[in-house]
Homo-oligomer: A and B are copies of this chain.
């Protein structure tokens, strides 16, 4: 704290991301990164674009990329917003669509960045309790005073809400924006993107960090009604005209153009996830049904924090949240076959 800090700054409660160990000699199953590299076409596109044009500003409106994404989803480009990772898109959305004094709703077990945004922008919120099996109680999201936001599949649980249930929430919040945070949708869920023409209060947020193996390039996007997208652009253009560099724009475009590779990677991860879930269950773990690239699991006899610490000592990083209701769970990112093998070898010794 310092006498120079603003009132706003004094009340922040910053997000703490998962550890990024500096050595590469670790098995990293803690931040839901994709174990497979980006498409070779993405790497080629970046190298191609690495020339003297980097002296010039990027497109402030990301036109090329927006057109690609729009055509990928069969939408118009004014229904697409591009941001610096979905975290930035989420931050701008909190600013654009939620008001202080009007409580927004999100699940009590959810992405832990939401309360951070709410605190920064002074948005009041109410935590809606998940049911005992960690599913979202749909009716309790009806008629929100200020709006609704939740991840689908939810994080850190991996539990998916059906598109029917998403629609019920949309229909019962017609005057307020409902944000579906689809960071993990490509690992088995059905995207709400197909509903944007029907619901003008729907904003879908996605990222290229998980299913498209581009966490290192910081690209996120929002899909929604033109009015919502215009709003996001007003916020962006009041903060930073150019939030994505030239290479990030090129990488993202190339990724959307390589559908075959993308599908293959997602399919492989889904298979590995199901195998890993079975192995965990065989070891006595309770494992939630996940539609994401991670598993949320609890062992009746092994303390979760102990497990986390033991694995960390042996250079295997998973995620542990010291929070009520989930402090006996660990979140394990689905890695590649070799990493999962080593993880299970060590895990068997501990359990």
If A4-B176, A55-B215, A59-B20 touch, does A120 touch B239 (CB 8 Å cutoff)? yes
- Would you call B33 and A238 a contact (CB within 8 A)? no
Which A297-316 residues sit within 8 Å CB-CB of chain B?
Answer: none
Partner of A98, one of B6, B12, B43, B96: B6
Inter-chain contacts of A58 with B (CB < 8 A): 215-216, 218
Q: Is A131 an interface residue (CB 8 A)?
A: no
Partner of A54, one of B7, B234, B244, B251: B251
- Would you call B31 and A57 a contact (CB within 8 A)? yes
- Closest CB in chain B relative to A235 CB, distance in Å: 6
* Distance, CA A50 to CA B22, complexed state (A): 18
Copies of this chain held together in the complex: 2
- Closest CB in chain B relative to A56 CB, distance in Å: 5
* Distance, CA A195 to CA B175, complexed state (A): 53
Q: Is A13 an interface residue (CB 8 A)?
A: yes
* Distance, CA A244 to CA B84, complexed state (A): 8
- Would you call B218 and A243 a contact (CB within 8 A)? yes
Q: Is A116 an interface residue (CB 8 A)?
A: yes
- Would you call B55 and A216 a contact (CB within 8 A)? yes
Q: Is A295 an interface residue (CB 8 A)?
A: no
- Would you call A4 and B233 a contact (CB within 8 A)? no
Show 25 A/B contacts (Cβ-Cβ < 8 Å), sorted by A: A2-B230, A3-B175, A4-B97, A6-B98, A8-B96, A9-B231, A9-B235, A12-B237, A13-B238, A14-B234, A17-B241, A20-B60, A35-B55, A37-B55, A38-B54, A43-B54, A53-B216, A54-B217, A54-B251, A57-B209, A58-B215, A84-B240, A87-B239, A217-B245, A247-B247
